[in-house]
Structure 1
Amino acid sequence: MKALNSKPTSKQQFAYKLLRARILDGTYGPGYRIVIDQIAREIETSAIPVREALRQLESDGLIQFKPYSGAVVTPINENEYLETLSVLAVIEGYATSISGQHFPKERIPELKGINEQMRRALDELDFISFGKHNRAFHALTYEYCDNHYLVENIRSTWKRLDSIRRSGSTFMPVRAKESIEEHEEIIRLLDATAEPHVIESFVREHKMNTVKSFYHQRH
């Protein structure tokens, strides 16, 4: 903590990173009320850096300020989540189809390893690890996409998705099992250097299956 006390900015950034991590990993769920004085005591600082960190989180869409409640973690906006995931399905599908034409065979075992890590995380109901491995899997599938603007948009869309739903808040065990099985087909398509339209169609459908599952779970 002493290093943090050297500059006000470092105190604010420490508070920001701490709170953001707790929101994204599900420690602070949607609607959770964040008590400024409590956080300030925990990280041994005044209330000012914490308040500034919360304003930064508000601009990220992770925090809302409500009358009589103060700072609360933003509830999930279901429509926004579904719309954003649908966009991700389109752009990730296209990026993976481009990447698939250059994907090195020697990295196929790495994809299989990540998918196996997802399987173990699911068995242990560790949905936070499952989500991290899932993102790592897809990041690798489109790593060889040479359309850098497209990849930047994928990362931006993932960031937007993070601001809408917290890790684990949209976890669906049945869908997670199906997702692992679909990943096996993605691996097969990449290993076979399948036609771009085949890869794009399957990856898009893979993402849209999550959209459909989430919708049916809520209705």
Structure 2
Amino acid sequence: MGAAIAAMEPAVAAKDNIAYGRADAAFHEALFAHCGNRYLAESYQLVSGRVAALRTNLASPIDVRTRTSFDEHRKLLDLFARGELAAFEELMTTHITNSGSVYARALKVE
């Protein structure tokens, strides 16, 4: 997760949504690759391509939340590293909900 965030920093600075999307995908992949639950990891693998397509095709062109998303990723890593799992879970729920809202706005299906 740390390496993915390190890759996000220059992408955010350069407003390079493609590079940011790659780093974002790596961040999420790391969460599932190391979750310790084979079924959850395999389930994510089944949908990860579709989720990446949403990020690339919806989030990249409109650049709605890149900074917010980046800040959430940094905070998630910090909470996880400090073992603050309740706060991590709360922020993760917010992060996922916000992503869904961004996609819905992009599709104008709210």
Q: Tell me the TM-score normalised to structure 2 length.
A: 0.77
What count of residue pairs does the alignment treat as equivalent?
106
Once the two structures are superposed, residues 77-132 of structure 1 have per-residue CA deviations (whole angstroms, 9 ceiling, x without a partner) of: xxxxxxxxxxxxxxxxxxxxxxxxxxxxxxxxx61x42232131133232222111
Match of 2:13 in 1: 123
1:137 and 2:27 are equivalent in the alignment:
yes
The percentage of aligned residue pairs carrying the same residue is: 23
Rounded to whole Å, the distance in 1 between the matches of 2:55 and 2:70 is 21
Conserved? CA contact 1:122–1:173, under 8 Å:
no
Kindly provide the amino acid, as one letter, of the partner of residue 173 in structure 1.
Answer: D
- CA radius of gyration, larger in: 1
Q: Tell me the TM-score normalised to structure 1 length.
A: 0.43
CA RMSD in angstroms, aligned pairs only: 2.3
Higher fraction of helix: 2
Rounded to whole Å, the distance in 2 between the matches of 1:133 and 1:148 is 23
Rounded to whole Å, the distance in 2 between the matches of 1:146 and 1:183 is 20
Rounded to whole Å, the distance in 1 between the matches of 2:32 and 2:94 is 16
Higher fraction of strand: 1
Gaps of at least 5 residues in structure 2 are none
Conserved? CA contact 2:32–2:40, under 8 Å:
no
Question: What's the secondary structure of 1:174's corresponding residue?
Answer: coil
Rounded to whole Å, the distance in 1 between the matches of 2:31 and 2:44 is 12
User: Segments of 4+ in structure 1 off by > 6 A?
Assistant: none
